[in-house]
Every structure is written in C-alpha cells, then in structure tokens.
Structure 1
Amino acid sequence: MNDLPLPDIAAQPTHHDLPLDWVGMAGITLPIRLGDAAVTARLDIGVSLDDAGARGIHMSRLYLAAQRLVHQQLNVPAVLQVLDECLGSHQALSDSASLTLHGEVPLERPALVSPLSGWKTYPFELRARQDGRGVSIELQVEVTYSSTCPCSAALARQLIQQRFIDDFPERQADYIEVLDWLGSTQGIVATPHSQRSTATLEVRLTQDCLHLPLLALIDSAEQALGTPVQTAVKRADEQAFALANGQNLMFCEDAARRLHRALRELPQVNAFRLKVVHAESLHAHDAVAESRWNWS
C-alpha cells in the first residue's frame, strides 16, 4: 500500500494564464425518466474556467453531480440542482455551469381509426445554463409529419377534370357510370405529391416552469399540422391518413405558420424558434421555412 499522498496535477498552477469559456465532459451515458418513458440519454456537462491561473477543473465532481439525474424524473428542479452542485464544487474557479442532454423519447401513439397502436421516437435536446445573469433552460424536439403540396393537388385536380371532359364529351353522365369512373384508375388519372417532413422546435421555458413540457410540445405540433406519421395501420387507417393529407395541404410556409401559432399558445414558453424541412419528392432539394418569436 502506498502511504504517499496521491498527486493532484490539476491543482497546480498553469504556465499559460488564460480563462476558458467551457471545460467539461461530453457524451456521458445516463438512464433517465421522462414522464412514463425510460430513456437512455447522452449528457454534456461543464463549467467555465474563470481563474486564469488554475490548471484545470475537477472533472470527477461534474460526473458525480450528473449522476443525480439517473433513474429519477427529469424536471427543472432536478436540472437546477445539478448546476448548483457543479458551481458549488468549483467555487473560485467557475462562474457559470451548463449541460446539454440529448436522446430519443419513445411514445405510444394510436392509429387514426382502428384499435391498433405503435411506438414512435422523438429526438429531443435539453439545454440548461446558470451564470451571474440567472438561469436559462431550452427544450428542443423533432416531429415528423407528412406534407402534401397544394400546387400539385390543384394540378392533379385539373387533370382529372380534363379526363372527365374527354371521357364524357357533351352529354349528361349517368350517376352509376360516373361513380364507377371515379373509383377507377381511368378517372383518378393523377395524384398530388407528398413527402415525409420534419419540424424542429426549440423553446425557451418560463422562469416558473417546473416540469418539462415535452409531451405538450409534441401534441401541440402534431395537432397543428394534422398529418403526423403513423405506426401500425390497417387499410381504414391508411384511408383516414389520405383524407387528413387531403384536408391539410401544406407548403413549408403553411406548416411554419401553423406551428408558430401553436407554440404561442403554450403557457410554459416565453420564446421559440422553429424550422420545417419538406424533403421534396418532386425536386432533388428540400423546401425549408423558419420562424421565431422573442428569441435572441
């Protein structure tokens, strides 16, 4: 057994007097709880090194502070407790602490019509910072949906009209004959193009917010868009999805405006920015729209 004290190189002064904005660890694996969901997340955590003469920080103290998030409900008080501990263990060294937690939360979502249900994952990121100006907590989530082009829908309708004129020239069409025609490939000669699309929502939480409004954020976005991607479906669900797309024709500008209005209604949010990406099936490039409110 070595009776000599273990060397602490980090406690030695540096030969390069210079403060650092952020020092810490990235990619720490943590099992956490978000609502009813168990999530394996990755954590980046660190502090500023404001003492220009200090060699380094105490990495192990940050790691031990991060463990307070393990297996407990992730909420604002739990995050603030970790930041407080990071600063408390680095007195005279650091004036700010921050963390970023990112992962995917699984949510069970019902089918549109049938009794089926399935699971979807939503990538999320939580960013928190505490310094002399106070505390800032931001929550980001990604929502996937379907978008059908209004222009393409109008062009498809015109082609169907023209085919009707061609197939029923200058005569009164029989009801049954037209009904059969509408249900045939001869009648529906064109369909609008649609694509899987993504909305990335970043919100800044109010100072009195205690619980992370992740589910409220997801539900609000999906309700505003009207066409979230589905999991398990039967033909009745697929038909209902086609109806939802037809009733929610969207350019990327339309989607961004819908989401902007929905986020303004969330009481836990005092600022946000959003970005929608429509991965065009017509073009080899994406259509993108962005919006923000109170974000600086």
Structure 2
Amino acid sequence: MATAPESPLTLPDVAREPVALARPLDWVGMDNIALPVRIAGEDGATVQVAASVDVAVDLGDAAARGIHMSRLYLGLQQAFATEAITPGGLRKVLQGFVDSQRGLSSAARLVVRYAHLLNRPALASAHAGWKQYPVAIEATLRDGHLKLALSLAVEYSSTCPASAALSRQINAERFAEDFAAARPLSPEVVRDWLASERGMAATPHAQRSRADVRVELKPAFDELPVAALVDLLEEALGTPVQTAVKREDEQAFAELNAANLMFCEDAARRVAAALSADPRVDRFDATVAHYESLHPHDAVARVSG
C-alpha cells in the first residue's frame, strides 16, 4: 500500500511573535538595492540603466514586530521591468507595496538613483559628446497622495568678477606703460598689441563649479522632466562644462565665461530665478559650490523657494 506524502515542513516565522516594545515605525525597508530601471531617452525611446534603489513602507501596527520585507524586494524586481519610470507608474508600484503588507502599512516610498546621460553638442564645431548627470527620483505615497521630487546636479565654470576687474586694471596699466611715448595709435597697432603676450598682463581665476538641486514637482504633470531641468539650469548658469572641444570650442567657452562672470551668490540667484519661474516646480532647494582655484576651500551658497 502506498504511503501518503509527507506534509511540507512548516518554517518558523519569528516575525509573528509578540513585540517587546510596541511602537509604530516611520519607515522600514531596504537601501541601495541594485536594479536595472527603464527611463525615457532623448529620442523618446525607453533606455535601460543601472540604478540603486531604496524602498520602504511605514509600520503603522504598533504590535507588529516587522514588515514582510521580502515582498518589497520581489515586487521591486518586477516594478520597472518593462516600462519607463513615470509618475503614474510610480503610484502603481507604491500602492502595490502598501497592498503587499496586508494591513501593516498605509504609506510607501522609493528613491531611485542613476546616472542620466545626455548627448551635448560642442559650442562651435560639429562635434558632440556624452555628459553624465547624477539623478535621484523620490516618490512617496501616503493615503493615496503621491509626492514626487527630483534631485540632480550640473557642473559649470565660474570666473570670479573681482579677479576679472583686478586683471583688467593691470592690463590697462600695462597698456598705458607700453604706449606712454607719444606716437600715433591705429586700430591695427592696438589689435596687434592685444594679441601679443604683452596684451595679457593678468588673467582672472576660474574653477569648475557644481549646482545641486532638489525640486518637488507639482502633481499636474505626468512626466519626470530630468532633461528639461538640466537644460534650464545650464542655460541659467551660462557656462556648462563641455564634452568634445576643438580650439574653436575652447575659444567660444572663454567668451561665455567672460560674459558670465559670477560669484557663488550670483550663481545661486540665477538657479533660484530659473526654478521659481518653472511651472512644474512646487518648491526647491539648491546649493552651488565653486571649487576655488584661489583658495584651498570652497565658496558655497544655498537658496530655497
């Protein structure tokens, strides 16, 4: 006579045991999960990129010892497998995380960090190159309300206005010294002098700089405007760092720097003005840092609105 198959072994679940210190918790989950995600590329096509993801839910049941953490992980593996990240998609994913906890949670949050690549044309030549922008997408769903925020950074060049003024003064003094003797001055003579080594007695100091921005988005827009915000910030600052550079591009970059002299305070105000006027932005926090070539420390300005 055949014997009945043994019943599957019941595995212990200590998470069901009584909690020693009853208290609800704000967030419980996992940070820095490696995950491929899909984002909208420059041509509208979906692009897969490597990301680091934080996921969490609240633990509203004070008597529960813990959440069903593996359900968050497994749900995350499928969340962005086939579709690009959108506000609507994030809402659906977050609601799925809440539902997976079977009454333990009423809120969920995600943070997706990745490097956004944009192809940028050279300033004067026909070349182009890729630039990488660090991006973080923050999404929180609480009581059915979705909140979205984007964090990103752009690098630019900053030329010191004070240093430029001091350099102009020295250049003017040398001009007066070289042309002190009475002699006729023609445009050609002055042009040749300016193009010579004598025509540059001093140069202002400039440095690579960075603007780190976090914006909270209005719910009326069903998009994540990463590229649009990068363009907005780079246009406001005027001197974004370049990719492919030939001599004509370097000269054009020098012209841009001369036309956009700025202290860190100036840069912060430019960023604030651009973000304040953007209809997609509800509020923002921005930090600009000029990595000084004159000093061993950085010049920093922060602004919010």
TM class by shorter-chain length? over 0.9
- What is the CA–CA distance in structure 1 between the aligned matches of 2:129 and 2:145, rounded to whole Å? 41
Q: 1:15 aligns with which of 7, 16, 20?
A: 20
Q: Which amino acid aligns with 1:24?
A: G
What residue number does 1:128 align with? Answer: 139
Q: 1:82 aligns with which of 93, 96, 99?
A: 93
Q: 2:53 aligns with which of 25, 31, 43?
A: 43
Paired residue secondary structure (2:9): coil
Deviation string 1:249-290 (CA, Å, 9 cap, x unpaired) is 111111111111111222211111111111111111111111
Contact 1:146 1:227 in 2 (8 A): yes
Paired residue secondary structure (2:199): coil
Q: Which amino acid aligns with 2:196?
A: S
Q: Which amino acid aligns with 2:266?
A: D
Q: Which amino acid aligns with 2:246?
A: K
Instruction: Report the TM-score when normalising by structure 2.
Output: 0.92
What residue number does 2:254 align with? Answer: 242
Contact 1:69 1:79 in 2 (8 A): no
After TM superposition, the structure 1 = structure 2 runs for residues 24-39 of structure 1, keeping only pairs within 5 Å, are 24-36=29-41, 37-39=47-49
Q: CA deviation at 1:69?
A: 1.6
Deviation string 1:63-122 (CA, Å, 9 cap, x unpaired) is 122221234211111111111011111232112211111121111111001111111100
RMSD: 1.5
Q: Which amino acid aligns with 1:277?
A: A
Q: CA deviation at 1:132?
A: 3.2
Q: CA deviation at 1:30?
A: 1.5
- What is the CA–CA distance in structure 2 between the aligned matches of 1:33 and 1:132, rounded to whole Å? 27
Q: CA deviation at 1:170?
A: 4.4
- Please identify, of 236-245 and 202-211, the stretch whose mean Cα deviation from structure 2 is larger: 202-211
- What is the CA–CA distance in structure 2 between the aligned matches of 1:133 and 1:159, rounded to whole Å? 64
Contact 1:138 1:205 in 2 (8 A): yes
Q: Which amino acid aligns with 2:252?
A: A
- What is the CA–CA distance in structure 2 between the aligned matches of 1:133 and 1:78, rounded to whole Å? 14
Q: Which amino acid aligns with 1:121?
A: Q
Q: CA deviation at 1:4?
A: 1.8
- Please identify, of 185-194 and 64-73, the stretch whose mean Cα deviation from structure 2 is larger: 64-73
Give structure 1 stretches of 5+ with no counterpart: none
Q: CA deviation at 1:190?
A: 0.7
- Please identify, of 168-177 and 199-208, the stretch whose mean Cα deviation from structure 2 is larger: 168-177
Q: 2:102 aligns with which of 44, 69, 91?
A: 91
Q: Which amino acid aligns with 2:222?
A: L
What residue number does 2:157 align with? Answer: 146
- Please identify, of 110-119 and 52-61, the stretch whose mean Cα deviation from structure 2 is larger: 52-61
- 2:198 matched to 1:186? yes
- 2:213 matched to 1:208? no
Paired residue secondary structure (1:186): helix
Q: CA deviation at 1:129?
A: 1.1
- 2:298 matched to 1:286? yes
- 2:256 matched to 1:251? no
Q: CA deviation at 1:205?
A: 0.7
- 2:279 matched to 1:267? yes
- What is the CA–CA distance in structure 2 between the aligned matches of 1:107 and 1:159, rounded to whole Å? 41
Q: Which has the larger radius of gyration?
A: 2
Give structure 2 stretches of 5+ with no counterpart: 1-5, 42-46
Q: How many residues end up aligned between the 2 structures?
A: 293
What residue number does 1:62 align with? Answer: 72
- What is the CA–CA distance in structure 2 between the aligned matches of 1:143 and 1:114, rounded to whole Å? 22
Q: CA deviation at 1:2?
A: 6.9
Contact 1:30 1:70 in 2 (8 A): no
Q: CA deviation at 1:14?
A: 2.0
**Percent of aligned positions that are identical:** 48
Instruction: Report the TM-score when normalising by structure 1.
Output: 0.95
Q: Which amino acid aligns with 2:133?
A: Y
The alpha-carbon distance between structure 1 residues 261 and 57, as it changes in their structure 2 partners (threshold 3 A), is: same
Contact 1:107 1:120 in 2 (8 A): yes
